[in-house]
Amino acid sequence: MPLTHRHLLQIEGLHPPEIDTMLDLAESYALLNRSGKTQRDLLRGRTLINLFFEDSTRTRTSFELAGKRLGADVINMSVSTSSVNKGETLLDTAATLNAMNCDLLVVRHGDSGAPALLARKVDAAVINAGDGMHEHPTQALLDALTIRRRRGRLEGLTVAICGDVLHSRVARSNIFLLSAMGSRVRVIGPPTLMPTEIERLGVEVFHDMREGLRDCDIVMMLRLQKERMTRGLIPSFREFFRFYGLDAEKLACAKPDALVMHPGPMNRGVEIASDVADDPVRSLIKEQVEMGVAVRMAVLDILARRSSRND
């Protein structure tokens, strides 16, 4: 089923066949990448701008690599928002980018809704690379692809999303995607890091990690978003690790073959112990990074085809 949207702003509202279409294409790009081949004709002559108002290493580089592997001209723009009025900057930037005739615009911004605002102002296809505490759709797609490759399916799996759920756009996008695809989703964390009424999204809430991990197939850890914490929401990092950090002992509460994920960047010893993060059998963290490139190639491919049809 073809994706009917012009932009990729969020997972919420996408239908399972649309998600499957993206994952299937990403799977073929994962195989292509492993074979060492490229598809440089696909986006030849197209321009991709990476517009990052917030720091990023892996997301920015993987969009850059994805664009280059498909033959696009890729430009990276990092914008500091420290001293200027954010709204004004965003609209000024939109006008500038529009004048440059860019085809694909990848946006990361500290404010929820910024990519959607840009999408209304530019002709390019806009991809949300993380907006505030709202969504990070390509992260959820790459997580889903990683799980699907290992487990062969998403349906019927029990996935625990653990830690700083409150500030996490990764958690929100994953909740929407995994629920739509028939996984059972649990969220685990202290009450201070849990959004109010999160149950409305159809998840089960646990404050006791050992209890929440019982019978889980996948344990997805989140980074503590210190930069988004305006007040003391946890007593200390040591205390947080004791109750909510994933170590071998807590992981033993999940299924014996449960797999571990983390979107990165990791705070080792705060939300995850190094021996668990680096476990070659249980940890999927490196594979998540690899699948990130494949998923972004698929998304760029689909959106570029759509925009060329609109030309």
Residues engaged in binding ligand NCD (CB under 6 A): 58-59, 130, 136, 139, 169-170, 223, 225, 263-264
Query: Closer to ligand NCD at the Cβ: 59 or 93?
Result: 59
Give min distance, CB of 12 to ligand NCD, in A. 16
Amino acid at 225: Q
Instruction: Check 59, 93, 138, 146 and give the catalytic one.
Output: 59
Which residue, 18 or 135, is less far from ligand NCD as judged by CB? 135
Minimum separation from the CB atom of position 227 to ligand NCD (A): 9
Residue 8 sits at φ, ψ, to 5 deg, of -120, 95
Query: Distance of CA 19 to CAs 11, 89, 105, 290, 297, Å?
Result: 9, 33, 21, 19, 14
Provide CB contacts within 8 A for 142, sequence distance 6+.
26, 288, 291, 292, 294, 295, 296
Place of tokens 């006791």: 208
58 as an active site residue: the answer is yes
Query: Is cis: bond before 265, omega within 30 of 0?
Result: yes
Using DSSP bridges, classify how beta strands 184-188 and 104-109 pair: parallel, antiparallel or unpaired: unpaired
Q: Which is nearer to ligand NCD, 219 or 253 (CB)?
A: 219
Q: Kindly name the residue from 46, 60, 108, 184 that is annotated as catalytic.
A: 108
At its nearest, how many Å lie between ligand NCD and the CB of residue 53? 12
Is 108 one of the annotated active-site residues of the chain? Answer: yes
d(CA 235, CA 76): 38
Q: Which is nearer to ligand NCD, 170 or 291 (CB)?
A: 170
Catalytic residue among 6, 58, 149, 228: 58
Find the shortest distance in angstroms from Cβ 108 to ligand NCD: 7
Would you please indicate which residues are annotated as catalytic (active-site) residues?
A: 58-59, 86, 108, 136
